[in-house]
Every structure is written in C-alpha cells, then in structure tokens.
Chains A and B, each alone.
Chain A
Amino acid sequence: MVSIEIDGKQIKANDGAMVIEAADDAGISIPRFCYHKKLSVAANCRMCLVHVEKARKPLPACATPVTEGMKIFTRTPLALQAQKGVMEFLLINHPLDCPICDQGGECELQDVAMGYGSGLSRYCEGKRVVEDKNLGPLIATEMTRCIHCTRCVRFGEEIAGIKELGATGRGEHMKIGTYVEKTVDSELSGNVIDLCPVGALTSKPFRYRARAWEMRQADSIAPHDCVGSNIHIHTKGREVLRVVPRDNEAVNETWISDRDRFSYEGIHSADRVEKPRIKESGRWTEVSWEHALAFVGDKLKALPADKLGFVAGPSCTSEEYYLFQKLARALGTDNIDYRLRQLDISDQAQVAISQTLGQTIEEFEQNNAFLLVGSNLRKDQPILGHRLRKAGLRGASVSLINSMDHEFRFPVANKLLGGAGDLIRNLAGVTKELLAQNASYKRSKDLSDVLSGIEANDTHRSIAKALSSANKATVILGNQANYHPQSSTIRALAAAICELSGAKLSIVTDGGNSVGAQLMGVLPHRGPGGKKLSKTGLSFNEMLTTSIKGLVVMGAELDADTLTGSSALETAKHAEIVVSITPFSSAAIEKYAHVMLPVGTFAETSGTYINTEGRWQSFEGAVQPYAESRPAWKVLRVLGNVMKLDGFDYFSTEEVMDEIKEHVGHVELNNLFEWEAPAVTGLNGSNGLEMIGDVPIYSVDAIVRRAAALQGTTDAVSSCVYLNSNAASKQGLMDSDTVSVVHQSGSISMTVKLDNRVPDGCIFLPSGASTTDSLGAPFGSVKLDKLAGSINDQGAIGAANV
C-alpha cells in the first residue's frame, strides 16, 4: 500500500495500481475512453491526463502507477487544459451526429465532451468518413463515429480469445474493423456494444427502438444457463427492448453472453399465446381463464393419481417449481420430473440433493487443474467458459475428455476425443491410474473389479498426475456428460477420481434453474429440500414407457426440450389430457396438447433462480405479462384453488418463498456421493457409425429458439448431420449430400455437413430442433444411407466449408 493524494484527498492505494484505479476507488472521476477495468491498458486516447506534482507534463492516469507520496490534481488549469485539448482533437473527425445515433443519451463521448470539452470547435476542415462493416446480425456499426480507443480490439484478444477486430492503417487513415468483412464470431461478442464508448458499435436488434431515457430498467437474472448472470432488462410500455449486463464480480463480472443479451427477442415472438386455449375435436378455441382452469381441474381430478404426470423444463423459477410439485403431490402423485434430457438417472437415490459447481464461481476460477468431461463449456455456460479460459491463460492445466473437438481458445494440456464409449473408457483409464497410485483407497476393491479390463495410457497418466499434484483441482461434468446414456457411470467414475485425487466435482447442468428444480423437489423420489419420499414416483423416462393419462407440461416443448422427442410425443398422444403451461404455441404443442395456459416469460414474472453455486437470486417482473397470459406461479396457485386443494393461498412470490425457506435451507456445495460400483462394460461401440448428440447454444430453450438475431449467427447450428471428412469419404459421402439417418426408432433425411471437430467413426446430430425428434435419444449406433438426388450427384460439388 502506498499513500497518495488526489485533489487534496489522502488515499491509500495498492502497490502498482494505476492512478485512475486509485481515483475510481476513491470516487474521484477522471475522464477516460480507452481505459477499462477489465482490459489491458492501452493509454492511447489521452483523455485521462492529470497534473502530477513535479512532473513536467500532464500524465495519463490510466498508465501512471502510483508511488509513495504522489500528489495528483485532476482539476488544475494544467489538467483541465490538457483534457480540453484532447477532447477537441477527439471531436475533429467525429461526425457529431448524436440526433441519429443510438448511443445518444448514454454516450461516454457526449458525457465527457459536456464535462470536459469546450462548447465550440475551431475545426472547419472536412471530416473523414469510414465505411461500415458487416459484423453479423448482432452488432451494428457506424465506424465514422469511432474514436479508436481500441477497447473492442482488446476485448477480442483478451476476453473473447479471438482477435478478429483490429486497427488497420494509421493516423488519419486508421480504421477499426475486420479488414475482410466477417462476422464477429464469439459467444460473448455483444459485450463490445457496452464497451464501445461511442455509437460506433451498437446493438443491431435494438437499433432505433428507443432512447435511453424513455426506458425503464429492471434488475433481473438471465435464465438460459446455470450461471444466472445478473442483467438489467430495459423496457418501454409492455415491451422488453433490450438486455444489458449488471455488474456482479462474483458471478458474471461485467459480461453477459450473447444468448443472455439477445434472447429477449424471443419474448415477443409471434408464437405467443394471447388467451387460454382448449382443443375440442381437433379445433383450438380461445376461452376464458375461469373456463380453462375449471376444465383442467375437472379433467385432472377425474383421473387416477398414478396416471398423472408432471414435467417441467429446467428454466422455471423456484416458486413455479415449488407450486408445481405441491400441486402434483396434493393430487396424490410423485410422477414428476424436470430431467427431460437425462437418459440415465439410475443413481438418483444416491446423488447429492442438488448438483452444483461444487464451489463458488470465483473459487472455480482459482483451480490449477481442470478435467472437463462431456462439456462444451464455452458455448453451454459461456461465463464459466470465460472463467476457465482465465484460469487456462494463468497457467492452469486443462484437460478434456470430450466427444467433439470443441475449440477452447487457450492451451489445452490433454485432449481425448471419441464417442460415448470412449468417453467412459478414458475416464476409467484416469481412474485406474489414480487407483494404482493409491492402494489404500477405501473403495479400491469395488473399483479394481470393474476396471480390470481397462488399461491406462500416457494421456490418462498425465491427466491423473495433473489432478493429484495440483493444490486445487476440479473435474467438471458438462451438459453432454449429463445427457450421456451411461451418465451414472460417468458420475461414479468422476466421483472416484475426485476422491482419489482430492479434486472437487463440478456438475454443471442445462437450463437456468436446474438447481432450483432439484431443491424444490421436482423429482419423483425427493420432495422440497431433498426430503426422501416414502415411495418413488415415475421419472420422466419412466413416464414415457407407462401409459400416462393426464400430462401437465410446464416451461418445456416436448419435441425440442427432450432428448427423446419422438417417445415424448408418443406418450402425449395417448394421454387423455395434456396441459401445456407455456408462453408459446408451436405446431408440435398444437398437436400434442389439449389445453394451453399462457404464462409469462422470465421478464414477466417475479421469482427466484438458484444458480450453479447455490446462489439464490430473486427478481421482479420487468413488464406486464403479454396479452392475457399470467405469471405461471399465479396460474398454479389458482389451479390449486380451483381443485380445492389445501394451501394454495398466496398473494405474492415472496409468500411462496417464505414457505420454501421452511423446507430448503443452505445449499451444500458438494457433489460427492455414495456411488455404486459402475458397470464399465458394453463399451465397444458398433463397427459402424456412432451418433453423438448435444444441444447447440442457440437451441437450448423455447425463448432462445425464437430469438431471430441469435438464429442468424454462425453459432446457430443448422439441422444437418455432421461428420469429419475421413468418416465421410469412408461412407462415400460429400458435403451437402442428402442422407437418410437411420437410428433406433426412426429415420429422417438430412443434409451432410463436413466438420472435422467430429471424431472418427461418429456423427454429430444437434438436438433441440423438432426436425430431429423422430430419431430417439441421440446416442448409439446409426446408419447413413445416401439418397439419390443429392446435389453432388447432379454435378455440383459441395464445398467443404466448415
């Protein structure tokens, strides 16, 4: 610590801190453009010039380290004159087109010019003009406004991990851009909109929609991944106009993913349901809420409790989950589940009450060794991906056991790729190696039997060593590991690896509130707070093989939010009544449901999400629910009243929360569990092709799937079958061929796309789109039959452009 003085105020500052940081901490404002607390110091705009005692010239506060006894003045004539001069130069080439600029009213250039500039310009020569760039569907450009602070360039290099923007030319001719027209391709790209201090980079979907002062701001939580990024929702009237990040160092720092930023477009999709609807003899009619609820109540009460099924998606609020399970249980059934994309839940009785990151997000970043299993962390949980990257750049050893060769944008220590069987075999290899080092392990016996057929190779040894030698290590099971047909084996092996190596076990899950779903008891075997139930109801997978007569679906589309779309639809088809509690309708819902109860999205309800580190984050609704839709918690409450069930008289989500708190206490951040020795057999996949499924970043939920701009990005994976060029030539296939994909329960015809991230012998088929629902669970052996009429047969050569 050093003592310094700024404008006469005594301040203690950290050694090595820059003057601007010390001033910020002390609440003394120094104007700046290029400096940003999360980026490296460029010191190129000179707006932050201050007067330092004994210095001959004004010094840039962002690049001047504090020294003991330093005296800094931000408002002396020397400082003011310097700031004024810089401001005048910065405005020389700026178009001053504030009236037609989206940044107007929230522009750092406007603010600083007001505060530190002069009202007049002496410059009367011509201004330069810079042509705009097409940076894709998310970011609009107006490059003439750029003041060359290079924040966007540094963001790409330092945060997104991919340098696509740069400064070309020099002096008068310097331009910021991609040089070659190109979409900025990062799951965090939208953050440059906030970083750009002027209106050069603005939000494309938000363009010309509103002025900053016309909107209201509500604090909220992003619902698309288990991070629970803190956001501001900006609204005008009943419309959500944009979403921007809300700083929370512990969670999302100052960033949010593009998915969290641009998903709001889906809220206003044309698919929104205005009024409750009932289907009678194949025709949908709008009815009043009283009618709809009475209808649902009568139908459900008339059915035997064991013929009822309650399923919810993984992104509802905790209050909704709580009431949902309360309703199910009041009707006498434990047939309730939120695990729509988990094929193997055979260890459900043993696993932790809530599966979490096993540590806080900040602790997560501090690990020295990571083993990532079945996870595309960068795309699935972009903020965690960013934390992992920071650790990787800091020198942490990161190893991967994955199916696809996902890009991570930092050095990866070990990488093992392969299909579902390989994934387990590799995990077993690491386990075996650790076991060999640690004979006294309490469960040695259990393991050595099941691992007898496994050989550890050098990579396994290297991973084992990295995990056990690091003082903080973590094994992360990602979304795909949870979807895996033998995910209980993965969990058991991962838990054993952690016990053997001292690593922590992280289980990151899909959806925005799967931790909440578990804690609220949206499970067939556990009630709120993880309370063990005397009898176990049917899980989602079991419901699919039993005849369910009454199905209530909340916050999920059975075709796209499940891994087994076709059997889910089949089950629904045989039910007497399917109630869909949903903001949206779709062709599939219209087909399988009998009643639609329209509810608000995350922006239209109050509620609480519990993120992957067990953080309870409550929020208020930002806008009134669309048309006559209602917050889901109210719908559930009234449904309880209509059916004359006890204990459904709440006036607010706070009241629901009070009741929840009686059942659910502190969230234990520990995923280790009493695993049962897994079967590590049956791994030798078929000789043919193996299918590996995953849910792409912009297919995860109903809102995201309807967000137009996101669907236009390069990350919006199209429904094709992906395989690497090796596998393709073995099959005699070329890019853009049409094939029939034959798998388990069905076959569909699809276009082939070459993608060398897919391992040999595998095909990747993105889930989460209704076009692939007829194929059943996206794992296991599969056959591709080339169909005649492929464009390559007609002489056109499909370019291998992936």
Chain B
Amino acid sequence: MSESKLDLLTAASKAEIDQWVAKYPADKKQSATMPALRIVQDQNEGYLTQDLMDAIAEYLGIPAISVYEVATFYSMYEHKPVGKHKICVCTNVSCMLRGSDEIVAHLKKKINVNGWREVSADGRFSLKEVECLGACAGAPMMQIGREYHENLTPEKIDKILESLD
C-alpha cells in the first residue's frame, strides 16, 4: 500500500468530479475519468502530473494505469507545464494546404519558442500541434482556450495575441 494522494485534489475538484460520478451507475465510476482529468488539469494550471493521475485513480477506485491510458490517449491532456494561453494549431491536411506552415512559423517567432510544447519565457504562451479540429472550412485555424480562430493570417494572429492578457 502506498501513501494516499487524495489530498492533492482540491475540495472544489472533488465536488465537481462527484457531479460527474453521479451521472453514471455506481459501479461504473471509471466513466468519470475524462471529466475528472479535465477538472484536475484545470486545477493545476493546465497540466497533469503522475501524482494527480494517481489521485484521480484513487478517488474513482480504479487502477492507476486506466487513468494513464486515457490521459495519454487524448491530446487535450497535458503532461508538462503549459503557458497561460495554450495555442493549439491545426496542421492537418486542409489547414496545411491553406498555409498552416507559415502560421506556425509566425507564431514561433511571435512568442519566441523553437518548437512544439514549448512555453514562452514569460509563461504566457505555449504552442501545440493538433490534428483536425473540424473547422476545415475556416482553415488555417488555431484554438486558444475555448475559442476557435479561423482564416488566420500573420496580422490577424498579432491582433489576437495582443488582445489576450
């Protein structure tokens, strides 16, 4: 038996997870893994740690590996620190054809990072490559927080970034 990690979850997170758990049959708590991961990721400035995943497993009463499986499968879960604004740029076919390469190059210059998953020196931004987000009609596109930004150009990007705190 290893030490309990439950204390790593805030009371607010636990309460929110409970709401999700309540939606599923009592013996199917595992179903709440995805929302729990999101809740705990938000609690921890946008990324997960192994301890936090263990805590979720303990809270839901499921094997830790089952949480790791989900957390590493979906790309919206982060395993390293991210910037305050996580910029997700689509580089899939439609966006690529519509110039996502330049968008990426511009973003890198703008926030001064060399590659994917890097955080800018001031901690405000990080850059992430994502697959098609279903906004092909507005390609090239990126997602910041919960917002989609479409038909991007370097100028438009500058404006968007300036508008963020």
Contacts and interface: CB of A to CB of B under 8 A. Distances in A.
Contact of B72 (A164, A165, A168): A168
B65 A179 contact: yes
Nearest to A165: B65
11 contacts: A162-B63, A163-B65, A164-B65, A165-B65, A166-B65, A168-B68, A178-B65, A179-B68, A179-B72, A180-B64, A801-B2
Interface in B46-92: 50, 63-66, 68-69, 72-73
Instruction: Give the size category of B's interface with A.
Output: 10 to 19
A169 B73 contact: yes
A7 to B, nearest CB: 38
A179 B72 CA distance: 10
B66 A756 contact: no
A801 B2 CA distance: 7
Contacts of A442: none
Contacts of B69: 166-168
B1 A802 contact: yes
Contacts of A167: 69
B11 to A, nearest CB: 27
Interface string A158-191: 0000111111111000000011100000000000
B73 A180 contact: no
Max chain A CB contacts within 10 Å: which of B65, B66, B68?
B65
Contacts of B66: 163, 166
Contacts of A165: 65
A165 B65 CA distance: 7
A166 B69 CA distance: 6
Contacts of A802: 1
Secondary structure of the B side of the interface? helix
Nearest to A178: B65
B27 to A, nearest CB: 10
Nearest to B131: A171
A454 to B, nearest CB: 34
A736 to B, nearest CB: 17
Interface of A: 162-170, 178-180, 756, 801-802
B69 to A, nearest CB: 5
A168 B66 CA distance: 9
Contacts of A169: 72-73
A166 B68 contact: yes
Nearest to B65: A166
B73 A168 contact: yes
Given A168-B72, A168-B73, A169-B73, A756 B1 contact: yes
A683 to B, nearest CB: 30
A164 B64 CA distance: 8
Contact of A163 (B2, B50, B63, B73): B63
A234 B1 CA distance: 38
A170 B73 contact: yes
A756 B4 CA distance: 14
A169 B75 CA distance: 9
Contacts of B65: 163-166, 168, 178-179
Contacts of A756: 1
A165 B69 CA distance: 10
A164 B63 CA distance: 7
A167 B72 CA distance: 9
A170 B2 CA distance: 29
Nearest to A167: B69
B6 to A, nearest CB: 17
Contacts of A179: 64-65, 68, 72
Interface in B130-149: none
Nearest to A755: B1
A802 B2 CA distance: 7
A168 B63 CA distance: 13
Contacts of B1: 756, 802
Contacts of A168: 65, 68-69, 72-73
A625 B50 CA distance: 52
A244 to B, nearest CB: 27
B36 to A, nearest CB: 17
Max chain B CB contacts within 10 Å: which of A162, A179, A801?
A179
B50 A180 contact: yes
Contacts of B73: 168-170
Max chain B CB contacts within 10 Å: which of A162, A164, A180?
A180
Contacts of B68: 166, 168, 179-180
Contacts of A163: 63, 65-66
Contacts of A162: 63
A178 B2 CA distance: 16
A410 to B, nearest CB: 13
Max chain A CB contacts within 10 Å: which of B2, B66, B73?
B73
Top 8 A-B residue pairs of the complex, sorted by shortest distance between their CB atoms: A166-B65, A163-B63, A168-B72, A179-B68, A166-B69, A170-B73, A169-B72, A168-B68
A174 to B, nearest CB: 8
Interface string B1-19: 1100000000000000000
A162 B66 CA distance: 11
Nearest to A163: B63
A274 B65 CA distance: 49
Max chain B CB contacts within 10 Å: which of A168, A169, A801?
A168
A780 B25 CA distance: 47
Nearest to A175: B72
Interface string B84-124: 00000000000000000000000000000000000000000
A491 to B, nearest CB: 34
Nearest to A166: B65
Contacts of B72: 168-170, 179
Nearest to B63: A163
A800 to B, nearest CB: 9
Contacts of A801: 2
A162 B64 CA distance: 11
Nearest to A169: B72
A161 to B, nearest CB: 10
Nearest to B68: A179
Nearest to B3: A800
Given A167-B69, A179-B72, A180-B68, 17 more contacts: A163-B63, A163-B65, A163-B66, A164-B65, A165-B65, A166-B63, A166-B65, A166-B66, A166-B69, A168-B65, A168-B68, A168-B73, A170-B73, A179-B64, A179-B65, A179-B68, A756-B1
A178 B73 CA distance: 15
Contacts of B50: 180
A179 B50 CA distance: 10
Nearest to B54: A180
B31 to A, nearest CB: 16
Contacts of A180: 50, 64, 68
